[in-house]
Each structure stands twice: as C-alpha cells, then as structure tokens.
Amino acid sequence: MNTSAAQVPEGPRDAGPLRHLRVLDLTQFLSGPYATQILGDLGAEVIKVEAPEGDMTRRLPPNFVGEDSAYYLSVNRNKKSLAVDLKSDAGRALVCDLARTCDVVVENFRPGVLDRLGLSYAQLSADQPGLVWCSISGFGQDGPYRDRPAYDMIVQAMSGGMSLTGEVDGHSVRSGIPLGDIAAGMYAVIGILAALADRDRSGKGRAVDVAMLDCQIAMLSYQAAYFLASGHVPGRQGRGHDSIPTYRAFTCADGADVVITANTERMWRSLCGVLGHPELVGDPRFAVNAARYENRLALWSIIEAAFRTRAAEAWVEALVAAEIPATVVNTLDRSLTDPHVLHRRMVVETQGPDGERLRVAGNPVKYLGEAEPAHAFPPRLGSDEDDVLARVLNLSVGAIAALRDSGVIGRRDTKTAPAGAQAGAARTGGA
C-alpha cells in the first residue's frame, strides 16, 4: 500500500491568496495555532511568538520528529518563530513593535492577561486603526464564565455535544477529533477574513471575539433546533441519525462496520435491491421515511441481518455501484493511505533543516487551476529571530545581539523548564 504523500506540483511559498498579509501569532496549544496555520497555508506571513521555553506542545509525548513533538508539528507549519520574554518591558515593547507592522494579531490567552501586560487591541489599534485582532478563549471576553480556564473536552461537555456522542445505552464520550479546538480555530479564521474584507472598504480593523463554547453551541445545529422546538432532550446518537433510519452504521460478516446514508426514496429502493429484500419497498411499515422512522427497530434488525452475510468491502462495492453513499469505517492507517486522499494532497510532506521529514494532514482549501503553495517545515523555537527583526523592524545585528544577550529574545533549555511553563498565564484550548 502506498503510504507516501501525493507528488503534485507545488507553487512558490509566497503564492497564496493571503500573501499580502502579515500575522502575529501569540497562540499556543491547538485552537490558536490551528487558526494561524490556516492563514499561513493560504500564504500569509505568520510570525509566531513563544515564551523562551516554547509552546508547551513542543514537548508533548509520545511522538517526536527531531526535538519537537508531532502534536506541535501538526499545527505550526508555514510559520516563523521568535522566542520573547513577555515578562520583560523590552520584550513587551518588541512585541508591540511587531504588532504595529502586522495586519492581524491572534491570541488565545485568558481574557485580561494581555491587557495586564500592556498588549491590547485598544492600545495597538490607536496607532494602527486597520489592525484586526482576534482573541480565542474558552468562554469569550465577557459573561459569567469569562475567567474560567477551558480545554477541548470541557467545551465539548458543556455544550451538550458530548452527551450526543456514544452508544445509546453507554456512556457519553468526547469526539475523537478535538472539535472544540478545531472549530474555534476555523471560526476564528472566518471572523478574521470577514474583518479584513470590511477593512478593505472602511479602512478600519476590529476585534474578533471567538469563544470555544460558542462554537460548540453553534455546531449543535439541527439538534439544538429539535430541542428548542420540542423540549425533548436528545440522547446519545450511537451509530445512527435522529431522523433518518437508513443513515447508520451496520456490522458486516468480517466484523467491520459499513456506513450507509440512504437519504432519499430512490436510495431506499436501491438499498432494498442491493440487500436482497425487494419486498421491503412494498411493506407499509417502511413505505416512506416517516414510517421507517416509526418502525426503525424492526428495520434495523432486517438490515443488520443482511449485512452480516458478506464482508464490508463487498457491500461497499455493491452499494456504491447502486449510487448509495457507503463506506467502510476506516482506521487512520486506511484513510491516510487512501488513493483519493493522496491525490487531493491531504497528506503533505515537508523537510526540516537537518533533513527531518514530516508528513501531516494537508490544507483542504484548493484553488482550481493553481498549484498549491509549498509548505515550510514548522519552525524551531527562535529560529527566525535574526531574519524577522532585521527585515520587519530594521534592527541592526548589534541591536539583535543585545536583545539576545539580555535574555529578551532567545530560547531557554526546555529540559530544565517546568512542563507547561507560562501555561497558567493561560492559553485556552488543546488536548
């Protein structure tokens, strides 16, 4: 099985549609870095500022490539790194100077932390009215939970989304994908791009306030509408759908699960034929979706018994041939080597400064007829200080050396730093 990343033409690194933008990334862990990675994937210059000990995810076990963890590497490509001591006056001044050269600032500290450090939208926008500032936090910049810490699993649980996930008669479980963080990162990018579009018209930036819990509530979508309309509290969804009984997973003869989404009447009739039960089409219990829903337990028993007669791949082949959406429930070794996934360049490979090779999930935003910009390996901590400070702030070699000698910039040995140093200052999101 081919496990390599797709080999397709790459454009230059500065070819993306956001190549005219510069982003100051003051984020750590997952929600914020995911947002800024999207901006970097689309061509923006992203300058990531970390504490001298670095983003704590650089040290998260169990998997490492070189000196950094796979967790960190998964959400920090296409960025440049500076290590700056924000506890020092000179460090804060340096970051303010950098912010004044940027179109966008993204941060995910707890509300109020940067204000106390003298780094705030109000202060910086006074000097740069076009600045777009995005704050990602657990609960937003106001409200009774404003000052609570939050991580992905917290907001999954608080939103009610976690109560919908799991077997019907089992326990609630978190989503295997960190939806709280990922959704916040995506909504942050939406807010940033909308603010930038308005800035093109008005010349003024704005502050974008993205709360992880808000994003999870928004993603409840029709489940929220069902409850608000009926007052009925939905439970764990298990392997199926609350409205469509033929939108479900079934176990096959080889023990693998197949998912079918036979949503239309045509698909229902085709499904009956593929399963070898054409008589079900005329059965009044299953004549229309509403009837199938009322009699879903009986229907599931018939369908499950049919699926138990053949292996999963054989069923998928027959279902797809009948134009019924179906797939095996893949494990990651299957999905990340799937020929379509590779063709779409959703596994990308970058090479580090010492020859390290890193394969990660790719950028899903494609532009027809354009080569995808090349991806840069995630930066070593502080690796771009000389370049950024000289090019962006016009600092001399001597001035940069003085900042480094005084400890304002430059990495510290992470082997002696406590795990999660400066994390209590409190980024939000992750895990």
| Lateral strand order in the sheet of 257-261 | 247-251, 257-261, 326-328
Residue 163 CB contacts under 8 Å (≥ 6 apart), including other chains: 157, 172, 235, 236
Bridge partners (DSSP) of residue 260 are 248, 326
As a whole number of angstroms, the distance between CA 321 and CA 10 comes to 35
CATH number of 10-220+353-425: 3.40.50.10540
Q: Which two tokens stand for residue 208?
A: 């974008």
pLDDT score at 13: 67
List the structure tokens of 388. Answer: 């950024």
Q: What is the pLDDT of residue 426?
A: 54
* pTM assigned to the model: 0.92
**Cα–Cα dist 118/155, whole Å:** 29
Residue 316 has phi, psi (to 5 degrees) of -60, -45
CA torsion, ordered 323, 325, 326, 332, to nearest 10 deg: 130
**Token pair recorded at residue 110:** 């707890």
Question: Which are the catalytic amino acids?
Answer: 181
pLDDT at 30: 98
Going from the C-alpha of 280 to that of each of 277, 303, 304, 340, the distances in angstroms are: 6, 10, 14, 35
Rounded CA gap, 33 and 428, in Å?
A: 11
285 backbone dihedrals φ, ψ, rounded to 5°? -65, -20
CB atoms under 10 Å from CB of 315, counted, come to: 25
Identify the CATH number of the domain defined by range 257-328: 3.30.1540.10
CA–CA gap between residue 50 and residue 275 (Å, rounded): 57
Enumerate the domain spans of the chain: 10-220+353-425, 257-328
pLDDT by residue for the chain (431 residues), tens digit each? 444 544 445 666 678 999 999 999 999 999 999 999 999 999 999 999 999 999 999 999 999 999 999 999 999 999 999 999 999 999 999 999 999 999 999 999 999 999 999 999 999 999 999 999 999 999 999 999 999 999 999 999 999 999 999 999 999 999 999 999 999 999 999 999 999 999 999 999 999 999 999 999 999 999 999 999 999 999 999 999 989 999 999 999 999 999 999 999 999 999 999 999 999 999 999 999 999 999 999 999 999 999 999 999 999 999 999 999 999 999 999 999 999 999 999 999 999 988 999 999 999 999 999 988 889 999 999 999 999 999 999 999 999 999 999 999 999 875 544 343 343 345 677 77
14 with 41: CB under 8 angstroms? no
- Indicate the DSSP class of residue 84: B
Longest Cα–Cα distance in the chain? 85
Beta bridge partners of 210: 136
State residue 418's pLDDT score: 38
- Angle CA(161)–CA(332)–CA(238) in degrees, nearest 5? 35
Looking at 219-310, list the stretches that DSSP marks H as alpha helix, in order from N- to C-terminal side.
Answer: 221-230, 265-275, 289-294, 296-307
Looking at residue 367, the DSSP 8-state letter turns out to be -
